[in-house]
Amino acid sequence: MHAESLPSIFLNAAIVNNFVLAMFLGICPFLGVSSKKETSWNMGLAVIFVLLVSSAAAFGINWLLVNLELEFLRLICYIAVIASTVQLVEMFVKRYSPALFRSLGIFLPLITTNCAVLGLALFQTQKEYDFIQSLVYALGAGAGFTLALMLMAGLRERLALARVPDVSQGAALTLMLAGLLSLAFMGFAGLGGSHG
Amino acid sequence: MAELPKHQEDLSLDTFVRGLWKENPVFVMLLGMCPTLAVSNSAINAISMGLATTFVLAGSGALISWLRNWIPKQVRIASYIVIIATFVTIVDYAIQAISLDLYAALGAFIQLIVVNCIILGRAEAYASQQRLVPTLVNSLGIGAGFTIALFALGSVREILGSGTLFGLHLFGAGFQPWVVMVLPPGGFFVLGAWLLLFNWIKQRGERRADAPTGVPANAR
């Protein structure tokens, strides 16, 4: 059993090894949905929910597969569970908030291919976390993802009003900004263990 | 199953070549960013990742194209994902058998090839509609484009970040490596810089193309 305290797991996932800025997981929505703060916040919540559900499911599946000695099916089972969870969230959002459904657009079904979700399931298996630890890890990862998305959205809302050279508009500028944010987050590296 | 009017593409050189530049997955379509940024901290990692992805692209593309008339439309995404996951599992075990060092360096990103948007995007946009041979050729082209992009990032980051290329020292002992380049921020900076360069080339090309037609337009 992994002897790591819960607050340390949370901080580690949310800030020290931030999923987006330090481990490059979930870059697509990070670049795609981060132009407005409100959309980013809702996207963050959707991802946190998917992370929690798929983390719990992945824990159960892993236990089952290890007992049946079918570990080589792990990847296929994880991705199937994640895809169905995302489908569930999509139906839920469509039913209760059509406006949000429209603003998230294609990025909602694309949570399936958000590396953060599959990455989390793989890392919690690799680190041999128990059930509670896995959930805290998922919560931390989701919080870190939301934090990164919100920071980026805040910067980009300001930047939309600024005058930048033509050449650097669009993705190039966003990547440079992400680099600076990532540089800032490296300052947290001393806070905890840097095992990724 | 509803029969869609399908445009069957003929096999030509363009089927392969456009993946290299015109439809380059990284520089033009901005897909597959996560592995691009994460494993491009050295040239050798970048190339291995590119080759692994190419194998999965070609294998899953071929299988999906072959099975395209039997996969029901409603569950196609799930079917594609399962096919892709199968090929990734093969690559995962193969790399583990070939080189444990490489396996450790790439880490979870081998398994994360499953969620590489390039592969699912190709499956949906190309393999599900085209015949086997064009799909295979096109997948190889896209894979090559991805590998080239990864190498462009990986080599710059390795040269600046550790003063080496493929582990060979390029500079004298006096060289002070820019450590930040092999760390996460470096990935963002180098990719941003490449995109800036391409934007600049493209804009200059457009300006040059406009110039001859500009004169008569003013005279009119």
Q: Is B115 on the interface with A (CB under 8 A)?
A: yes
Residue A28 is assigned to a structural domain of this protein: yes
Domain assignment of residue A135, given as a range? 17-187
Ranges A163-167, B76-80, B97-101: which has the least confidence: A163-167
Q: Is B124 on the interface with A (CB under 8 A)?
A: no
Mind listing the pLDDT tens digit for each residue in A109-121? 777 777 888 888 8
Residue B28 is assigned to a structural domain of this protein: yes
Q: Which residues of A touch B56 (CB under 8 A)?
A: none
If residue B168 lies in a helix (H) or strand (E), which one and from where to where? strand B168-169
Residue B54 is assigned to a structural domain of this protein: yes
pLDDT, mean over chain A:
83
Mind listing the pLDDT tens digit for each residue in A88-100? 888 888 888 888 7
Contacts of B12 (CB under 8 A, 6+ apart): none
Residue B42 is assigned to a structural domain of this protein: yes
Residue B215 is assigned to a structural domain of this protein: no
Per the structure, the count of domains in chain A is: 1
Mind listing the pLDDT tens digit for each residue in A126-148? 888 888 889 999 999 999 999 99
Mean pLDDT value across residues B106-116: 85
Please tell me which of the candidates B81, B89, B185 has its beta carbon nearest to residue A72: B89
Binned at pLDDT 50, 70 and 90, residue B8 comes out as low
Residue B7 is assigned to a structural domain of this protein: no
Residue B27 is assigned to a structural domain of this protein: yes
Residue A195 is assigned to a structural domain of this protein: no
Residue A1 is assigned to a structural domain of this protein: no
Q: Is B28 on the interface with A (CB under 8 A)?
A: no
Mind listing the pLDDT tens digit for each residue in B162-213? 877 877 777 777 777 787 888 888 888 898 888 888 888 888 888 887 765 5
CA B186 to chain A, closest CA, distance in angstroms equals 7
Per the structure, the count of domains in chain B is: 1
Mind listing the pLDDT tens digit for each residue in B30-48? 787 888 888 888 888 899 9
Nearest residue of chain B to residue A84 (CA atoms): B78
Mind listing the pLDDT tens digit for each residue in A19-42? 888 888 888 788 877 888 888 888
B192/A175 CB distance under 8 A: yes
Calculate the dihedral angle through the C-alpha atoms of B185, B187, B191, B194, rounding to the nearest 10 degrees: 90
- What pLDDT is recorded for position B9? 67
Domain assignment of residue B54, given as a range? 16-170+177-205
Residue B200 is assigned to a structural domain of this protein: yes
